[in-house]
């Protein structure tokens, strides 16, 4: 008798344990119960399921009618003795009438068994955005004043504008008198470039292994010099645009070839982190300085007795004119060819 009673108790305990292991609980949550047409409602379903269980949610395209599912996702959070399966929905409605989130079936599968959990229905209130005017008669406009309008406010406004203009004018005069002397004119491009090269040399980038920084600054010095010396927007040029300008410029062929080599060889160093040999690094500086020296402005001084326009004002001559050292304005062609010019007393050597 005792043995039979013990078996019955053991079976009951096992049954209750299995039932507890299989049990699942469903919870719902919502962030609002009132909404306007097009507003979003966040609806959450949380299921505490046995370990390893899977949950099949309802079809979001049809199960939430008359509501529309804009977006949904799910995640599983493993716990110590169970799993928390969470489904998150963003719902909205496009009808200006109250609606209800219907009961939703979630199918639970675990250990070869299947069960359906259902949520409770949740009513929602849709608030209209249109304000209904129940007044039978629209209010009448107030009586209008006849006759000419007073110009008092107009004169007051004009007076304020005149006062503001006077204050601004006085401030501008004070600011003008407080300003110091005008800034000095910019340095000539040649002097500026030579000083920039000296400053770059003092940084000793090549000795520090900073080849890329050295080539970058050297390239900017050349572009700045070319922009001011030849009147082109060289500072904004890409390498291809710079090469195109060199091809149509009036520079000497050797100068064009030197600059084309410089910009083509500098690009891999500047943008591809290419490390050239020491000879190439030295050549970068030599070519840059040689180009600036070769294209620096030449001031031609007019000699006594020469005709034509004078260049003594300091205007810069183009490179091709600077290289023609045997020609001077106002001389006959024969004198330019022979290198002699005629003076007041006859031929001179």
Q: What is the DSSP string of 82-104?
A: EEEEEEEEEEE--SSS-EEE---
Q: Examine residue 266 and state whether it is found in any structural domain, yes or no.
A: yes
- The residue among 81, 101, 126 that closes a domain is 126
Q: What does DSSP assign to residue 135?
A: -
Cβ neighbors of 254 (< 8 A, separation 6 or more) are none
Q: Examine residue 96 and state whether it is found in any structural domain, yes or no.
A: yes
Distance CA 43, CA 88 (A): 6
> Per the structure block, which two tokens stand in for 56?
């099949």
Burial 165-176 (b: 16+ CB within 10 A, else e): eeeeeeeeeeee
Q: Which residues of the chain have pLDDT under 70?
A: 1-22, 130-140, 144-148, 177, 179-182, 300-349
Distance CA 223, CA 193 (A): 10
> Per the structure block, which two tokens stand in for 231?
């009147």
Q: Are residues 118 and 194 in the same domain?
A: no
Q: Examine residue 227 and state whether it is found in any structural domain, yes or no.
A: yes
Give 15-54 pLDDT, tens digit per residue: 444 444 457 888 899 998 888 888 899 999 998 888 888 8
Q: Examine residue 261 and state whether it is found in any structural domain, yes or no.
A: yes
Query: In CATH, what number is assigned to the domain containing residue 35?
Result: 2.60.40.10
Q: Are residues 206 and 109 in the same domain?
A: no
Cβ neighbors of 273 (< 8 A, separation 6 or more) are 212
Cβ neighbors of 338 (< 8 A, separation 6 or more) are none
Distance CA 227, CA 237 (A): 10
Domain count, the chain: 2
Q: Smallest Cα–Cα separation from 221: which of 207, 203, 240, 208? A: 203
Note whether 45 and 106 are within 8 A (CB).
yes
Q: Examine residue 217 and state whether it is found in any structural domain, yes or no.
A: yes
What are the φ and ψ backbone dihedral angles of 139, each rounded to 5 degrees?
A: -60, 145
What are the φ and ψ backbone dihedral angles of 213, each rounded to 5 degrees?
A: -65, -35
Distance CA 258, CA 72 (A): 65
Give 222-248 pLDDT, tens digit per residue: 999 999 999 999 889 999 999 999 999
Q: Examine residue 134 and state whether it is found in any structural domain, yes or no.
A: no
Distance CA 123, CA 28 (A): 13
Q: Examine residue 327 and state whether it is found in any structural domain, yes or no.
A: no
Distance CA 54, CA 112 (A): 11
**What pLDDT score does 336 carry?**
37
Element containing residue 302 per DSSP (H, E): none
Q: Are residues 39 and 120 in the same domain?
A: yes
Note whether 84 and 46 are within 8 A (CB).
yes
**What pLDDT score does 53 carry?**
84
**What pLDDT score does 37 carry?**
85
Q: Examine residue 30 and state whether it is found in any structural domain, yes or no.
A: yes
- The residue among 126, 161, 178 that closes a domain is 126
Instruction: Give the domain range for residue 69.
Output: 25-126
How big, in percent rounded to 5, are the helix, strand and coil portions of the chain? Answer: 40, 20, 40
Note whether 250 and 319 are within 8 A (CB).
yes
Cβ neighbors of 235 (< 8 A, separation 6 or more) are 220, 223, 224, 227
- The residue among 274, 294, 314 that closes a domain is 294
């Amino acid at each position: 008798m005792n043995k039979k009673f013990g078996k019955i108790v053991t079976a009951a305990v096992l049954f209750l344990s299995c039932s507890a292991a299989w049990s699942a609980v469903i919870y719902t949550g919502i962030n609002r119960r009132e909404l306007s047409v097009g507003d979003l409602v966040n609806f959450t379903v949380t299921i505490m399921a046995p370990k390893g269980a899977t949950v099949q949610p309802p079809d979001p395209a049809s199960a939430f009618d008359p509501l529309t599912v804009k977006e949904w996702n799910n995640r599983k959070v493993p716990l110590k003795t169970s799993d928390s399966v969470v489904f998150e929905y963003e719902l909205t409605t496009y009808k200006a009438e109250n609606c209800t989130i219907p009961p939703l079936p979630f199918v639970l599968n675990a250990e070869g068994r299947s069960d359906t959990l259902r949520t409770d229905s949740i009513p929602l209130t849709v608030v209209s955005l249109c304000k209904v005017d129940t007044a039978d008669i629209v209010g009448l406009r107030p009586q209008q004043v006849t006759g000419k309008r007073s110009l008092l406010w107009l004169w007051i406004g004009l007076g304020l504008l005149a006062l503001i203009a006077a204050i601004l004018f006085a401030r501008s005069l004070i600011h003008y008198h407080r300003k110091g002397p005008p800034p000095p004119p910019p340095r000539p491009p040649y002097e500026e470039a030579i000083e920039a090269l000296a400053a770059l040399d003092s940084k000793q980038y090549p000795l520090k292994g900073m080849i890329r920084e050295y080539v970058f600054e050297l390239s900017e010095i050349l572009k700045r010099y070319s922009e001011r010396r030849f009147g082109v927007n060289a500072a904004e040029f890409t390498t291809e645009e710079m090469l195109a300008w060199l091809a149509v410029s009036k520079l000497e062929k050797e100068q064009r070839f030197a600059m084309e080599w410089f910009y083509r060889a500098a690009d891999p160093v500047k943008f591809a982190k290419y490390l050239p040999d020491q000879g190439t690094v030295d050549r970068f500086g030599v070519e840059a300085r040689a180009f600036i020296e070769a294209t620096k402005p030449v001031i031609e001084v007019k000699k006594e007795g020469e005709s034509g326009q004078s260049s003594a004002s300091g205007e810069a001559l183009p490179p091709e004119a600077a290289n023609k050292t045997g020609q001077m304005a106002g001389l006959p062609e024969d004198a330019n060819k022979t290198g002699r010019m005629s003076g007041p007393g006859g031929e001179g050597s």
